[in-house]
Amino acid sequence: MVGYLFLAIAIISLAGFYAGRSKAQTSVGKLSELHSLPNFHGGFIAAWIGIPSIIVVLLWLLFQGTVIDNLLLSSLPADKVEGMDQAQLSLVLSEVRSVAAGNIFGDPEPHIIAAAERYNSWYSISRWSMVAVALAMCLIALLFTRSKISGRFRARHRVERIMDGIMVVCSVIAILTTFGIVVSLLVEALRFFDLVSPLEFFFGLNWEPQIAIRADQVTGGGAFGAIPVFIGTLQIAFLAMSVATPLGLFSAIYLTEYSGPRFRKAIKPVLEILAGIPTVVYGFFAVLVVAPSMREFGATIGLDIAPNSALAAGAVMGIMLIPFVSSLSDDAISSVPDAMRHGSYGLGATKGETIIKVLLPAALPGIMGGILLATSRAIGETMIVVMAAGIIATLTMNPLEPVTTVTVQIVTLLIGDTEFDNPKTLAAFALGLVLFVVTLMLNILAQRVVRKYRERYE
Amino acid sequence: MSDTALHSPPGPIRSHDWGSASARKRVKRRYMHDRILQWVGLGSIGTGVVLLLILLSSLVSTGLPAFQTTKVALDLFIDPSLVSREDPGKGNFRKITRDAFAKYFPDVTSRSDKRQLYKIMSSGAPFNVRKHILKNPELIGQNISYAVPLSDPYDQLHKGVIPRQIEALSRGQQQLGEQLKQRRLLSLEDGKTAANLTIFINPELVNAEDPAGGDFAPMLAEAIRAIFPRASPTITRDILAPDAADTVKQTVVEAPALIGKTLQLKVPVSQNFDNLFRTGEAMIDNPRFGDPKVFAWYDSLAERNLLQSNFSIELFTNADSRFPEQAGLLGAIAGSFFSLVVCFLLSFVAGIAAAIYLEEFAPKNKFTDLIEVNINNLAAVPSVVFGLLGLAVFLGTFGMPRSSPLVGGMVLSLMTLPTIIIATRAALQAVPPSIREAALGVGASRHQVITHHVLPLAMPGILTGTIIGLAQALGETAPLLLIGMNAFIPSIESIGILEPATALPTQIFSWADSPERGFVSRTSAAILILLGFLFIMNATAIYLRQKFERRW
C-alpha cells in the first residue's frame, strides 16, 4: 500500500518533470530566451510534487499509530478500563490489535471485538485519507507550479535553493543524532534516578539488577550500585591496553623506522585485516580458543582460571586494538620531520637511540592521543566482553576471575523483556549515559593532547 | 645557545680515543641496543601476524565440517493413507520417515530401543520429507529414495569431530592417580587394583554393638584426604570403588576390636581408576550418545553404505533451526541484506549531500563548526550507544516495528554516515580546483560545477568510502542486538523489511550461545561466510580505488 503510494508519487513527479520541461520549451520561441535550462523547470515541478507529499506521508505513518491508539483507548467502555495502569492498557491494546489482525486466541470479550472492528475501520480510513491527501498535494503542486513556468521564470535559482535546503537538512542529521543520543539517554537516565538515587548508583558496591517483573518471579532484590561494573570495565580496558600498547607501538616503530618499503607494504594490509574483523568474531575466538587454552595453561601451573576470566576478554580485546594503536603511532612517528632524524644521525646516534631519544619524545602527544582513543574504544567495546566476560558483577581486582563491564550490563539488561517503566531497563540507559560521557571525554582529551602538546617543527 | 654558554670559560679540551677498547665496547653495546629494539619491533609484528593466523586457522578448522552434512538414504513409501492427495501438508510424515528408517533394523523391536534408534535421524527429517513431497505431490503413493540428515551427535561422529569414547577421568584425577602410583600405595589383588589406605575406625561413626550399621564412607574419605590434603572432594570422591566401604565394614565386623584404632587396609579402587592403573588410560563411551547399543546401529548403517556426506547446501538455503544439522543462514543473510540496503539508501544520499554542503557551500561559522565537531565525535561513539538511541527513539518514541531490518538499517546508517561524509569530503578535496575554475569559467553555476564535474570525478572515492562503511555496518552486532534483530526465524517465508529478522552477526552471536556441539562448527562456518562477504566488499573497494584513482 505505502509502497504503491511512493511509486505513484514518483510517477507523478516524473510526469511533472516532463510537463514542466515541455512547457518551458514551448513557452518561448527560441530556447535561448529561457532564463533557465528546460530541465531546471522540470526539476522545479518534480521537487514541489515529490518532497512535500513524501514528508507528509512519512509524518502520517509515524503518528497514525499513536493517534489511533489514543482514539481507541478513549473509545473503550469506561467500566472496562477503569483503574488500569499503563501496562494493562497496553496489554488491552495489543489484544485489540491481534484480534484486528485476525489472530484470535480463545474467546475475546465483545468490547474487544467491537474495538478491533473500530480499529480496522479507522486504520482503513487513515490509510485512504493519507493516499487522498498525498495525491491531492501532488496534483495541487503540479497545477500551481506548472502555472508559474514561463520563459523568464528563474527556475535554476529555485531548484538550487531547494538543493541547498536538502543539503543543509542532511548535514543537520549529524547534530540531530548527537542530540537524539543525549536527550534519549538523559531522559531515561533521569527517570532511572527518580527510582534509584544517584548516590547509590555511582558509589554503591552491590550490582544485582535482575528484579522481578512479575510478582511470582524469584530473583535478586535489585541493587544498583555500579562501582563493581565500573571497576570491571576499567580492569578489562587496562588489560587490553597492556596487550595492545606495546605490541602496537613496537610494530609501528619497526614499520616506520626499520622495515623496507616492500615489507611495510606487505605487512600493513595484514594489520588492516586484524582491524576489519568484526568484534563478534573476536568474541567467538575468545570463547573458542583463548579462554579454554588459558584455563588449560592455568591448570598445568596450578592456577584456577575462570572460563570467562577478565584476562581472556582483555587479551582478545588487546589483539583487536593492536592495529588501531599501531596505525595511530605510525602516523605520529612518521609525521616527525626528517630533519630531526638526520640531525640525530649526524650527531652519531644509532637508529635505536634516535627513536628512543628523539622520535618518541617528539611523537609522544600523537602516541598518547592514539592510546587514549584506543582506551575509549576498549571501554565502549561490546561484543567481545558480552561473549567472553562475566555477567555477574563481582568486586575484584583478580584478572583470573570473571568481571562484568558497562557494555555487558547494557546488553544483558536490554535483551529480552524491555519495559520502559522498569528500573532494570532504565539502568541500562543510565549506564549508557556514563559510557557516552566517558568515551566522549576521552576523545576530546585525546584531541586536546594532540593539539596542545604537539611540537611544531617548521 | 644561551648567553652563559657563550661566556663560560673554555674548559680543557679532552682528547678522545675512539679506537680504545672501552670506546669500542661502548659502541658495540649501543648497536646491540639498536638491534634489540629492532628485534622487539619485528617480534611485535610477528605476534600480531601469528595471532591473526591462529584466529583464522581455528575458525577454518572448526568451521569447515559444517559445510558438509551427513545424510542417510531412506527408501520411503509415501503411503496415500497417511498423506492425502488433497491436503498433503497435513500428512503423517513422521510415521513414514520412521517406518522407512526402522526397515533397516528389523531386529530392533522394543519401544525404548526404537526411541533410541530414531534419535540417529534428525528430528527435522519428517519436515524435510514433507517439503520434498509438497514440492512434488505426484510422488504420493510411490516408493522414493530420499536422504535425510543425521541428528547432530551422529553427524559430528561421522565427521570425527566428537569421539566415540572419551576419557573418563579429568586431568586432575589422572594426576592424583599418578601420585598414588608414585607413592606406591597401589597393589594388584585378584586382577583388580586396590589402594593401600591408612584408615582410622572412628568410634563416633561405628558402634561396637552393631558394627555392621556403622557409617564407613566418611572414614574412607578421611583416609583419602590424609593422602591428598589439598585436593577438593569433588575430584577425590571417584577414586575408590562404590563398594569400598563394604570392604572396611567386613573387616570391622570380623574384628570389632579395631574400632577406635588405625589400620592398614587394601581397598578396591573404582572401575575407571582400575583401568587407568592397569592399562594406562580410562575410556568410557561418550555419554552424549546414551545407550552404547547405538554405536552398533550407526556402524551397520555405515557398513551398508547408507551414509553419505555431501556439501551442505542447506547451510545457505535453510532458515534458522533449533537442530544444528538443519540450521541455515538464509534468514540471516536476507536480514543483513535488507538492513544494508536501507542503510545504503539513507546514508549514501544523506552522506553525499552533507559532505557537499560542508565542503563546497557551507559558510565558515559557529553552526558549521558544530556540525563538523559532531561528525567527528559521532565516528567515535561506541556502537552500543547507537543501539540505545534506536531503542529509545525509533522503537520507543516512533513505535517502529521491533526487530525489523528497517530499524536495523536506520541505526546502522547513523553509524556509517560519518564514515561516508569523511570519505566524500576527502574525495571532493582531491578534485583539483582547476576543474572547478574551468567549469565556472564557461558559465556553469556552482551547483552545476558540483553535479556535472566535481561529483562524477569524486565518485570512485565516494564509492570506496561507502563500501568500507557498509562493510563495517555488516559486521556490527551490538546495536542490532539492542533493537532485537536477533529474532529466531525458522521459516524463510517471513522475510520482509518490516518483519522481525536476524542478521549475520547476530545469528553468529545466537549460535555461539547455543549449547549443542554442532552449533560450534555452524558458528565458525557462519563467521567464515561473514568474513567472505567482508573480503568481497573490501576487495571491491580496493579495486575501485586502484582502477579509478586519478592523480592530477
CB spacing of A284 vs B512 below 8 angstroms: yes
**Could you tell me what percent of chain B has a pLDDT over 90?**
34
Q: Residue B454 has what pLDDT?
A: 93
Q: Residue B510 has what pLDDT?
A: 93
Interchain contact A136–B (C-beta under 8 A)? no
> What value does the CA radius of gyration of chain B take, rounded to a whole number of Å?
37
Query: Using CB atoms and an 8 Å cut-off, which of residues 215-274 of chain A contact chain B?
Result: 246-251, 253-255, 257-258, 267, 270-271, 273-274
Q: Look at A177 and B268; give whichever has higher pLDDT.
A: A177
Asked if residue B73 has pLDDT above 80, the reply is yes
Q: Which of A66, A376, A381 sits opposite B399 (nearest CB)?
A: A66
- In chain B, residues with a C-beta closer than 8 Å to the C-beta of A436 are 381-382, 385
Interchain contact B57–A (C-beta under 8 A)? no
Q: Residue A455 has what pLDDT?
A: 63
Q: Residue B407 has what pLDDT?
A: 94
CB spacing of A420 vs B393 below 8 angstroms: no
How far is Cα A259 from Cα B457, in angstroms, rounded to an integer?
Answer: 35
Q: Look at A272 and B383; give whichever has higher pLDDT.
A: B383
Q: Residue A237 has what pLDDT?
A: 95
CB spacing of A353 vs B33 below 8 angstroms: yes
At residue B1 the predicted structure's pLDDT band, cuts being 50, 70 and 90, is very low
Span between the terminal Cα atoms of chain B, in Å: 45
Asked if residue B198 has pLDDT above 50, the reply is yes
Q: What is the average per-residue pLDDT within B109-123?
A: 86
At residue B465 the predicted structure's pLDDT band, cuts being 50, 70 and 90, is very high
Per-residue pLDDT of chain A (458 residues; tens, 9 = 90+): 788 899 999 999 999 999 988 888 888 878 788 888 888 898 999 999 999 999 999 888 888 878 888 888 888 777 777 777 766 777 777 778 778 877 777 777 777 888 888 888 888 898 899 999 999 999 999 998 888 888 888 889 999 999 999 999 998 888 899 999 999 999 999 998 988 888 888 998 888 887 655 555 555 557 888 899 999 999 999 999 999 999 999 999 999 999 989 999 888 888 888 888 999 999 999 999 999 999 888 888 878 888 888 999 999 999 999 999 999 999 999 989 999 999 999 999 999 999 999 999 999 999 999 999 999 999 999 999 999 988 888 888 888 888 899 999 999 888 866 666 678 888 899 999 999 999 999 999 998 888 877 766 65
In this prediction the pTM is 0.86
- In chain A, residues with a C-beta closer than 8 Å to the C-beta of B393 are 180, 184
Q: How large is the ipTM?
A: 0.89
Chain A CA closest to residue B507: A280
Interchain contact B48–A (C-beta under 8 A)? yes
Interchain contact A281–B (C-beta under 8 A)? yes
Q: Which overall architecture, per CATH, does domain A223-453 show?
A: Orthogonal Bundle (1.10)
| One-letter amino acid for residue B131 of the chain | K
Q: How far is B397 from chain A (nearest CA, A)?
A: 9
Residues of chain A with CATH 1.10.3720.10: 223-453
Residue to test with chain B: of A191, A274, A281, A417, most B Cβ within 10 A: A281
Q: Residue B498 has what pLDDT?
A: 85
CB spacing of B384 vs A432 below 8 angstroms: yes
CB spacing of B44 vs A248 below 8 angstroms: yes
Per the CB < 8 A criterion, the answer to whether A405 and A227 are in contact is no
Per the CB < 8 A criterion, the answer to whether A185 and A433 are in contact is yes
Q: Residue B189 has what pLDDT?
A: 75
CB spacing of A380 vs B384 below 8 angstroms: yes
C-alpha dihedral over B400, B404, B407, B409, to 10 degrees? -160
Asked if residue B236 has pLDDT above 80, the reply is no
Residue to test with chain B: of A185, A243, A383, A413, most B Cβ within 10 A: A383
What phi-psi label fits residue B78: left (phi over 0), alpha (psi between -120 and 50 degrees) or beta? beta
CB spacing of B475 vs A279 below 8 angstroms: yes
Where are any strands of DSSP class E within B201-351?
262-268, 283-285, 307-311
Q: Which of A278, A387, A443 sits opposite B475 (nearest CB)?
A: A278
Q: How far is B199 from chain A (nearest CA, A)?
A: 29
Question: How many CB atoms are located within 10 Å of the residue B184 CB?
Answer: 8
Lowest-confidence range among A103-107, A276-280, B361-365, B505-509? A103-107
Helix axes B244-254, B217-227, angle to 10 degrees: 110
Q: What is the pLDDT of residues B136-195, one digit of tens each?
A: 888 888 888 899 998 888 888 888 888 888 887 777 778 777 888 888 778 877 777 888
Interchain contact B358–A (C-beta under 8 A)? yes
CB spacing of A436 vs B381 below 8 angstroms: yes
Asked if residue B271 has pLDDT above 70, the reply is yes
**DSSP string spanning A103-165?**
---S---HHHHHHHHHHHHHHHHHHHHHHHHHHHHHHHHHHHHHHH--TT--HHHHHHHHHHH
Interchain contact B140–A (C-beta under 8 A)? no
Interchain contact B471–A (C-beta under 8 A)? yes
Is the sign of the CA dihedral B247, B252, B254, B258 positive or negative? positive
Q: Look at B268 and A244; give whichever has higher pLDDT.
A: A244
Continuous H helices in B103-216: 111-118, 125-135, 152-159, 171-182
Which domains, ranges and CATH numbers included, belong to chain B? 68-159 (no CATH), 171-285 (no CATH), 325-548 (1.10.3720.10)
Per the CB < 8 A criterion, the answer to whether A274 and A322 are in contact is yes
Q: Residue A213 has what pLDDT?
A: 53
> Three cell numbers at B31?
648497536
3-state secondary structure of B95: helix
Interchain contact A173–B (C-beta under 8 A)? yes
Q: What is the average per-residue pLDDT within B415-444?
A: 93
Query: Using CB atoms and an 8 Å cut-off, which of residues 296-325 of chain B contact chain A?
Result: none
CA A33 to chain CA centroid, Å, is 52
CB spacing of A178 vs B374 below 8 angstroms: yes
Asked if residue B403 has pLDDT above 50, the reply is yes
Q: How far is B405 from chain A (nearest CA, A)?
A: 16
